[in-house]
Structure 1
């Protein structure tokens, strides 16, 4: 039968995994009509072609619609822009494409090289939108192919170490195959490898009960053996990923992120310090997320509770948890020193990142540092931890409050209605602290405390407007935790400095404090190490406005008589 040329003579691809699609050289040429798409889908389901009578039954449930079928074929060719795709046979029609041009026919061959692509394809129902007995039969025939390809892709992803990909898709796969023990094993293994051992054991228990209640059966020997290994702390190729979720965008911290890029064999430790609410945890998590491909053996993350509600975490408990996560034995009755030795051995030569967050002191964190070639660690805390930095090769990253421009960006990310001027004003009144800016912007977005941005002359009183009722985000509470370790002299000096609005030289602060000059110098150094005093651009010492307001709150009236007289007689000098 002679054919006239069409607009498309290129390579066709037919997609039936999900909605029916036709592509010519990558361009979408899917016909717009429902019956046109059903025609293509029916022919894709039978690559050898279909007699006209069977096509009519598939489309209209009436085998005597031959004339109608011929007209539909003509209109489908026209809609696609080519007569080359659908060709006439002695009995009916067929698609003039090789079987590998139909996506469902290439699933098994695609899996080895592209498991992610296959799992993406399989998220939709095959022949979606195609109704009728013919397509129900086709879907039933396709089901085993789809299930097998999905299982194979998940197993391939797991074997390649991509547990994140596995966990993104395995839940949907198991919903469709709730008794599939191979899928369950992939799911449970991936959870255990990334350190979510409790969830792995819970998934096993759910399947065990389902099999017992619904089928009167137990899990097979292979799955039982996997469960026993996990319970015993034996997890093959453990790749933990314990980091909390990262912020969508980290604003204004480009230089700090670049500094952390220096982590490696020469500098296996980074110490990130800064005042409360300045964004130390957000920085560490953002960098870990950005660089996670560097750490093929995983990421360990622990909040050491240095500042917050309750007592700081004990190193012994953190070490035991880390060892279990790494599927290493935890000797019964071992003390901190012995557990630290086991942890160093377990991390040696592993491409591992250890994030030790919210650290109180060098003594708390020192046993938790990994050792040997391979692992690196990030410590975050309010103290500068100068002793630790002197003891180990370390990068030091001191986080300062955000610039007004960056702070305004943070404010507008939390409250889209703020204009640039209002956002900048809010950020400045929050002293550039990301936590305070976020709390204030959300309050404004909720219609609370509009005076933060509306009253141009307002000064002070910010901490009251930043109350949240939640200790972890209440700005005054978060800042006050930094005062807990201060000795009486340093704490009194902190309170006193809340009365002074201008940066001061070190001699001026010592004179203002009165009393023993040596004790005052020690107190100044203590406040600097705790990031409660920072150097201004002129080299003088100051504190940001929210700390100053906190200090003024704590000031006991009458503790230093004639304060105005003392301030007016402060000495100048470096």
Structure 2
């Protein structure tokens, strides 16, 4: 059985035939369970999410009756009873929301723009409407997934620009920028598209409009990356992208002639970026100085300010010998804020590739010794894994799990 909660909640048999799940409360219960596939969801949390703070007089009995209806629709083995709650018998890949998450991550790691664009397209095609549409009050949970969806749209548009499809991207970018007037990364993409499409005057006008909007509404100026793009437009008269590519290729050839070699790729899981990053050298230097003095450095700022990108660029700018075991990005956005605190450690273990490692032979003895020392607690296993290594962790989207 597969489940869809990116839009109206649906259940689909493996052969593609839909399951009739009628009634708003029934769909809300299915959504609340599918949001946590394979996990026991406490009955009280289900009551809160299904009835949105207005539960019936006998909430426990009402929930039991609703679960019985859902079992009749899906099959009695689909929803299991557990101590204190209920569990949907499903894997993450059985739920469209988590397939979407996997595809977006793959798109961000894809080294080829065409491959990245295809992955982003497949991910975005899973959306049939608002996320968690059947929950009476999806609030922050839905907003978090909408933010990931916007990241996917930006990624797909950036990939399309990298493939020279500026003209085709402009209508969508124009519509998105109208909806998100303060989203600097989105406006940066539109300015790049206008430049690449041979419309430098419009690109400069777009920058000026955004600058005024930021000043009037937030009292701020465009960020360093956007200012650098503006300076490029002014100084180069918006040379077409082919000329810029030629300059880049020439510079690379000259570097090779001088004996310069690119830094070898380190261990880790940092995704390949499809766009250049300029204009924040001072920020990168300050972060590097902080990392030399402290084990924890926190970047704060409003949404869309570029914290994720800046943290990755700052990490890669440091001497690779400082982190011989690599730089590892841990995405915390999909974790439920009020969920189990162990989820953070589990997400970190998964990003490090240390959650489901299967060892044989002599390595199995090492695994048994590790289990005896650290036990089953995720935080203990994480500490044990990291204690013998020198690595840098980038924990992204932390605010809801602090």
TM-score (norm 1): 0.36
Between 1 and 2, higher relative CO (CA 8 Å, sep ≥ 6) is seen in 2
Q: Which has the larger radius of gyration?
A: 1
